[in-house]
Structure 1
Amino acid sequence: MATTTPARERTRREIEQQAMALFGSRGYDASSLQDIATAAGCSKATVLYHFNGKPAVLAAVLEPSRIALNELVAAAEEMPAAAAQEFALTRFIDLAVEFRGLINVLQDLLGTLDQYPEFAQLISAGLRLTEILAGGTDDQLEIDLAKFAINGLLGECRHPGERSDAELHTLCDTALRRILRLNP
């Protein structure tokens, strides 16, 4: 017997999908809750029934990438520094390519992201990733290089139509390895 998705869950998913489309095309700030409701075919009250505001909608849209980043960090923390660095580099590139549409949305919010409690775990995981990519060292230059590498990768992933996934993956892998001075 086939199972059906309850209407409430379908509505929530539709809101998330439409919000992502609007955030990606217009930007987060230029998309209102009413815009999201209209695109999802529901009322603003329905959106607010499912989410307590626009940051909560964005947090739901980002949830799969947050979970994946947390899993990356958790797995890397169980490894020796060199293995963790290699694993984190490879897996982070995979995630950046997979979630490249979300990166464009996030890049516009980076300056204010820490103002939203919904994103505390994402910020924490990003900071931990930076430390892992720096090779687990306290050397400020290595940490700054890791930040630079991450920001460059994220910046390049902002333009989803310019490169194929394979081209973007190759570019990011080569660039990060050179910046972080890792052998291919």
Structure 2
Amino acid sequence: MAVTTPARERTRHEIVRQAMDLFQAKGYNATSLQDIATAAGCSKATVLYHFHGKPAVLAAVLEPAAVDLAALIRTVDGLPRAVAQEIAIQQFTDLAVKHRGVVQVVQDILPVIDEIPEISGLITDGMQLSGFLAGSDDQLERDLATLAINGLLGECRHPGERTDEELRTLCDTALRRLLKRA
């Protein structure tokens, strides 16, 4: 017997899916709740029933990536630096490819990211990732890791420009060349 999704869950999922598409196509700031509602085939009131404003919709769009990033942080936390760095490089590369559309949305909101408390966990985990990738407490190494993350995420921004394998190779090679081994 097939499992069916309740109507509310399907509506919520469609709102998130359409919001993701719109955030990628138009940008977060240029997308209104009405735009999302129209694309999802519902009313703005329905969007507001499921989410308490556009930042909450954004948080739902980013949630799968945030969950995966939090899992990566939990995996490497407490490991020896060299091991944590190696795992962080491998898993960051996989996450960058897996969530390439989300990357575009995140890069679009960077100027106002601190004003969206709904995604503060994602920001915190992103900063921790820089430390694990750096493999060091040295500020220059952390800055290089941040630069590498931002540059590689910029490459992930436009789905379809590179194959997944090309993007994986680029991310892995760049991180290994830019970062000192712990």
Alignment TM class, shorter chain as reference = over 0.9
2:134–2:145 CA contact under 8 A, matched in 1: yes
Aligned to 1:109, what secondary structure does the other structure show? helix
For residues 129 and 146 of structure 1, the distance between their equivalents in structure 2, rounded to whole angstroms, comes to 9
1:173, 1:2 → 2: CA distance?
Answer: 40
Name the residue aligned to 1:99: 99
> Conserved in 1, the CA contact under 8 Å of 2:15 and 2:37?
yes
Partner of 1:20: 20
Give the partner amino acid of 1:102.
V
User: Which residue is 1:162 aligned to?
Assistant: 161
Secondary structure of the residue aligned to 2:111 is coil
Structure having the larger proportion of residues in helix = 2
- How many angstroms does 1:26 deviate by? 1.0
**One-letter amino acid of the counterpart of residue 147, structure 1:** T
Structure 1 unaligned blocks of 5 or more = none
Please tell me whether the aligned partners of residues 34 and 44 of structure 2 are also in contact (alpha carbons under 8 angstroms): yes
Partner of 2:40: 40
- Report the AA paired with residue 134 of structure 2: A
Using the TM superposition, give the Cα deviation of residue 182 of structure 1 relative to its aligned residue in structure 2, in angstroms: 4.1
When the two structures are superposed, what TM-score results if normalisation uses the length of structure 2? 0.97
Instruction: Work out the CA distance in 2 between the residues paired with 1:159 and 1:8.
Output: 31
Q: What is the TM-score with the length of structure 1 in the denominator?
A: 0.96
Cα RMSD for the two superposed structures: 1.2
Indicate the residue corresponding to 1:84 in structure 2.
Answer: 84
Q: Distance in 2 between matches of 1:177 and 1:115?
A: 33
Structure 2: gaps spanning 5 or more residues: none
CA distance in 2, matches of 1:38, 1:174: 42
2:172 match? 173
Matches within 5 A, 1:125-140: 125-135=125-135, 137-140=136-139
Deviation at 1:54, TM superposition (A): 0.6
| 8 A Cα contact 2:141 2:180, kept in partner | no
Are the counterparts in 1 of residues 82 and 181 from structure 2 also a CA contact under 8 Å?
no
In structure 2, C-alpha distance between the alignment counterparts of 1:116 and 1:49, rounded to whole Å? 20
